[in-house]
A and B are shown apart, each in its own frame.
Chain A
Amino acid sequence: MSQITGMPVPTAQPPSVRPPTREALLSKRRGWFFGLTGEQAAKLLFQGNATISIIVLALITFTIFSDAVGFIPQNRENLEVYRRAGLELVDLLRGQVQDHSALARYLSAARQAEFARLTAQSHTPADANARLEAYDAFADRHANLIGDHETVLGEMTDLVSSLKERHAVAADLRAARQNLIDGMRTSPPERAAALKAEADAMVIETIDFANEIQPLLDMRPALGEANARLAKALKELNAAIPAVDDPALRRKLVRFQELNTRYVGEIAETERRMMTWDQAKPIGIFESLSAFAFGRKWVTASFWQDWYGIIPLFAGSLLIAALALVIAIPLGVAAAIYVNQVATPVEQKFIKPTIEFIAAIPSVVLGFFGIAVLGETLRRVSQTPWLDWVPGFPMLERLNSTTAACLLALMAVPTIFSLAEDAINNVPRSFKEASLALGATRLQTIIRITIPAALSGIMAAILLGFGRVIGETMVVLLCAGNRIEIPDFSAGLGAVFQPVHTMTGIIAQEMGEVVRHSIHYRALFMVGVVLFLISLLINWLAQKIVRRYRISIG
């Protein structure tokens, strides 16, 4: 050992064998390991490890970004097919037809409400139906007006989807042929010849989109006539609103009139957009990126068109994180103030470790608890009659944003608590003593002196709590309900009880099933990049806040 490391160990050798001190100090140590001394080798070992760690950590950033960046050209291609094959044009018409059906649904919902009111007033169902006869005739008339459009839409859809299908088949074949050609390079000559023959035998269709969608474009004039008929008929319909007794229903009909007028206005707009629609208009890199960053739809494995827009996921993550913080901030900060300023030493001794201990509960266990206990409990509570006034009660779904947020709040509390407590603890004693000496009560001291002095630390604690919440996966995957939709706040605050999907949840759910290097795979990496950047931003902000507002203790 002493030889290897080049250092004499006193206990291992009798003193007599030891070289004289002078000699030991002046003699040059021989290198034993590639000419290095033990000292240098050790340094190299440490340095090497540090280098490995650094390389790995750099690799993490690199891998995520490099896998994500391919998304942009792939999505551009995806959007290009959408335009070239005419799906975009068909979707314009589809939007018009769907708006019409939305109005039809509005009418039928109004009818349902009226029917319920009538039967509640002890009318028999038959009687109620008889009273609504004029209304039904009106609604039917409205619903039938869109028939022509639906026929055209059906024809267009068939045409376009077969076109897209052919394009997909051609792309697959092209990829297969590329595989064969790649295989040729590495295989022996006779095998390569067979591969070449196979590759040459493949018939790959080149689709001339401009030609293929000509029939689609030819349908537009007829559609224009149909539009004119529709607009005229809808205007007539607006004038022929049936007379109803119930004021509520009458109000709804007046509202229908307004909506209908707006719809008529939109017909012309849609027609204009369809006529000026340009199949050859190029799609830029920026458009592809903004389809991700501002896209309001996340639709995958659809037979029609896949969309990778992060907004619904981002909104879901944000909603859950905000809810969780609304619960966690008061609790975490209150606990920090209580433990540091109010609690007795005995309380301090057990509360602090216990709250820190909560951080050790694995998130998947919390998620399981949410499914097994909390979700059902919350729904039961929401069904109690005297809580009817709460918006969104009773809950429709057992697993929703609130269920997930409650559990996430519990995970954020330890983070917020520890850091906030540290910050409060770092406020100089003299601040507090001066305040107390001036006659302030303890509460006044806490509110006016201690908290303002510790505010930067508390803010940083909250930010890091937010980071913890937004990056959490298992709880939201298990408890948030996983419905990919932007929470609809038009119905008021009740939206907090809607199920949502999140950025972390979508990665965990879909990553296992995607094809390598497909657009979907890359889209998930893009979501990962967004998460990565958010966490960096939060960390940076927290550090900045702490540094900037740190009180100088003179």
Chain B
Amino acid sequence: MSAPTQDAKIFAKPTAAKRAEKGVFWLLRLGTYFVLACAVFIFLDIGIKGGAVIFQTKAPFINLPFLTQAPETLNVFELNGKKTTMGDREFRAFKEQHADQLKGVNIETYVYSAGGIFPNIVGTILLVVGSIVIALVLGVLSAIYLSEYATDSPFVRFLRLSIVNLAGVPSIVYGLFGFGMFVIALDMGVSLLAGWLTLAFMVLPIIITASEEALKAVPKGYREGSLALGATKLQSILTNVLPYALPGILTSSVLSIARVAGETAPIMFTAAFVVRDELPWQVEKATDFLFQGVMALPYHIYVVASKIPQNEYTHGVQYGTAFVFLFTVAAIAMTSIVLRVRLRKKYKW
């Protein structure tokens, strides 16, 4: 710092240190807002280009066929000097009637580029609901045991450590596990059940850790007060611990829903089919329901992003799917963040 000069005033010229501070703070600010700008750019890019596919200016303002039909192959051909595009079903009907018009016409086809993404949405919902139910039941009950019943033995400490460590294992490794264990060793094949279990076990460590934390955050006095009044352990857990821990558990479970919905790697070879004509409920026996592969949104994005060319015809399905998927997952995550902020305000001990 420079020594004060003779004519130093209260509002002296900023010293070198002050100027450096200002510069560095601006750099930090720039970095922070750059990150935000990147995120906003991605959201806007997919929001605008995908929104153009999903929304339309005419009533009902939403591109319903895209959300309610199965993916189809798109046929592009020149008819009477006009570029015509048709989905596969429409094209077959057309071909039967106007076979003569199509003679010698060059037809280009783009897979998955017509129709919609309905089976994918259904598949994703099924996967998420099933795996979250399994994970929540197992996870929350385990957390209650670990937090309320287990004594602090070396074994329990080791368990906690391994659970924390498993939370950091890459999702593809869980996919590998699910493939080796459920698909091959237990011979479930590529199926809904294998996907459920794989996804459930992927989020299990996260749910256990978060739920245990929520339970631990409830002050000891609540339990002691209840026990002192003659309640049993179970009673005090049910009436005096769980209700206060529930918001925290809820937040973490909503976040794990977002995680489960957003993951692609674990379902790639345990549950996802590239294409399947029947919808999940079109099965012969009820047990087949569990042992069928499903189409899923994230896997569909992977397929349409990597396996088909980028052009004006494929553009729609790519951005439309990404839009639906991104904003669904974002909405779930947003719920979780809002919940947490509100709960933090509500419960302060």
B52 within 8 A of A: no
Q: Which of B215-273 contact A (CB under 8 A)?
A: 230, 232-235, 258, 261-265, 268-269
A540 within 8 A of B: yes
Task: List chain A residues, Cβ under 8 A from B258.
Answer: 360
Does B234 contact A364, Cβ atoms closer than 8 Å?
no
B94 within 8 A of A: no
Which one of A39, A46, A512, A535 contacts B168 once the chains associate, using CB atoms below 8 Å?
A535
Does B264 contact A57, Cβ atoms closer than 8 Å?
no
Per-position 1/0 for B305-334, Cβ under 8 A of A: 110001000000011001001100110111
Task: List chain A residues, Cβ under 8 A from B298.
Answer: 362, 364, 474
Does A59 contact B181, Cβ atoms closer than 8 Å?
yes
Cα A343 to Cα B201 with chains together (Å): 39
Task: List chain A residues, Cβ under 8 A from B146.
Answer: 50
Does B171 contact A471, Cβ atoms closer than 8 Å?
yes
Task: List chain B residues, Cβ under 8 A from A410.
Answer: 35, 38-39, 42
Task: List chain A residues, Cβ under 8 A from B318.
Answer: 368, 372
A176 within 8 A of B: no
Given A43-B149, A52-B138: A63 in contact with B262 (beta carbons within 8 A):
no
B169 within 8 A of A: yes
Does A64 contact B180, Cβ atoms closer than 8 Å?
yes
Which one of A25, A47, A363 contacts B149 once the chains associate, using CB atoms below 8 Å?
A47
Does B142 contact A49, Cβ atoms closer than 8 Å?
yes
Which one of A53, A60, A473 contacts B139 once the chains associate, using CB atoms below 8 Å?
A53
Task: List chain B residues, Cβ under 8 A from A536.
Answer: 165, 168-169
Per-position 1/0 for A533-554, Cβ under 8 A of B: 0011011100100000000000
Does A355 contact B184, Cβ atoms closer than 8 Å?
no
Task: List chain B residues, Cβ under 8 A from A439.
Answer: 1
A45 within 8 A of B: yes
Nearest to B179 among chain A residues (CB) is A511
Which one of A63, A357, A532 contacts B333 once the chains associate, using CB atoms below 8 Å?
A357
Task: List chain A residues, Cβ under 8 A from B141.
Answer: 45-46, 49-50
Per-position 1/0 for A333-365, Cβ under 8 A of B: 011011100110000000101111111111111
Does A531 contact B168, Cβ atoms closer than 8 Å?
no
Nearest to B144 among chain A residues (CB) is A46
Cα A439 to Cα B17 with chains together (Å): 11
- Chain A contact patch, size range: 35 or more
B55 within 8 A of A: no
Task: List chain A residues, Cβ under 8 A from B176.
Answer: 64, 507, 511, 524-525, 528
Does A362 contact B172, Cβ atoms closer than 8 Å?
no
Most buried by B among A43, A53, A371, A543: A53
B166 within 8 A of A: yes
**A to B contact number (C-beta, < 8 Å):** 256
Nearest to A512 among chain B residues (CB) is B269
A413 within 8 A of B: yes
Q: Which of B118-173 contact A (CB under 8 A)?
A: 137-139, 141-142, 144-146, 148-150, 159, 162-166, 168-173
B79 within 8 A of A: no
Task: List chain B residues, Cβ under 8 A from A367.
Answer: 302, 305
Cα A492 to Cα B319 with chains together (Å): 37
Which one of B168, B179, B302 contacts A464 once the chains associate, using CB atoms below 8 Å?
B168
Which one of B42, B170, B171 contacts A361 once the chains associate, using CB atoms below 8 Å?
B42
Least distance between A320 CB and chain B CB atoms (Å): 14
Nearest to A442 among chain B residues (CB) is B21
Does A443 contact B21, Cβ atoms closer than 8 Å?
yes
Cα A339 to Cα B169 with chains together (Å): 29
Q: Which of A34-78 contact B (CB under 8 A)?
A: 38-39, 42-43, 45-47, 49-50, 52-54, 56-57, 59-60, 63-64, 67
Per-position 1/0 for A500-516, Cβ under 8 A of B: 00001001100110001
Least distance between B80 CB and chain A CB atoms (Å): 33
Least distance between A543 CB and chain B CB atoms (Å): 8
Does B205 contact A57, Cβ atoms closer than 8 Å?
yes
Cα A472 to Cα B233 with chains together (Å): 43
Nearest to B301 among chain A residues (CB) is A364
Does B31 contact A53, Cβ atoms closer than 8 Å?
no
Which one of A7, A372, A373, A478 contacts B302 once the chains associate, using CB atoms below 8 Å?
A478
Which one of A49, A63, A354 contacts B180 once the chains associate, using CB atoms below 8 Å?
A63
Least distance between B201 CB and chain A CB atoms (Å): 6
Does B329 contact A478, Cβ atoms closer than 8 Å?
no
A5 within 8 A of B: yes
Most buried by B among A359, A368, A477, A516: A368
Least distance between A400 CB and chain B CB atoms (Å): 15
Q: Which of A448-474 contact B (CB under 8 A)?
A: 464, 467, 470-474
Cα A47 to Cα B184 with chains together (Å): 29
Task: List chain B residues, Cβ under 8 A from A343.
Answer: 32
B342 within 8 A of A: no
Task: List chain A residues, Cβ under 8 A from B139.
Answer: 53
Task: List chain A residues, Cβ under 8 A from B138.
Answer: 49, 52-53, 56
Task: List chain B residues, Cβ under 8 A from A528.
Answer: 172-173, 176-177
Q: Which of B158-215 contact A (CB under 8 A)?
A: 159, 162-166, 168-177, 179-181, 184-185, 201, 204-205, 208
Given A474-B302, A508-B265: A335 in contact with B170 (beta carbons within 8 A):
no
Does B232 contact A331, Cβ atoms closer than 8 Å?
no
Does B234 contact A39, Cβ atoms closer than 8 Å?
yes
Given A47-B145, A464-B168, A478-B302: A53 in contact with B204 (beta carbons within 8 A):
yes
Cα A413 to Cα B42 with chains together (Å): 15
Does A368 contact B305, Cβ atoms closer than 8 Å?
yes
Does B165 contact A540, Cβ atoms closer than 8 Å?
yes
Task: List chain A residues, Cβ under 8 A from B144.
Answer: 46
Cα A270 to Cα B1 with chains together (Å): 69
Given A56-B201, A57-B162: A539 in contact with B326 (beta carbons within 8 A):
no
Does A364 contact B145, Cβ atoms closer than 8 Å?
no
Least distance between A36 CB and chain B CB atoms (Å): 12
Nearest to B45 among chain A residues (CB) is A373
Nearest to B161 among chain A residues (CB) is A543
Does A473 contact B32, Cβ atoms closer than 8 Å?
no
- Sampled A-B contacts (19; CB under 8 Å): A46-B148, A50-B146, A53-B139, A60-B177, A60-B181, A334-B31, A354-B36, A357-B39, A360-B258, A360-B333, A365-B326, A410-B42, A439-B1, A471-B172, A478-B302, A507-B172, A528-B172, A528-B173, A532-B169
Which 5 A-B residue pairings sit nearest by Cβ, starting from the closest? A471-B170, A360-B333, A362-B262, A334-B31, A49-B141
Q: Chain A interface (Cβ within 8 Å of chain B)?
A: 5, 7, 25, 38-39, 42-43, 45-47, 49-50, 52-54, 56-57, 59-60, 63-64, 67, 330-332, 334-335, 337-339, 342-343, 351, 353-369, 371-373, 410, 413, 417, 439, 441-444, 464, 467, 470-474, 477-478, 504, 507-508, 511-512, 516, 524-525, 528, 531-532, 535-536, 538-540, 543
8 additional contacts (CB under 8 A) given A39-B232, A471-B168, A535-B170: A331-B31, A338-B28, A364-B264, A365-B301, A368-B318, A371-B305, A473-B264, A540-B165
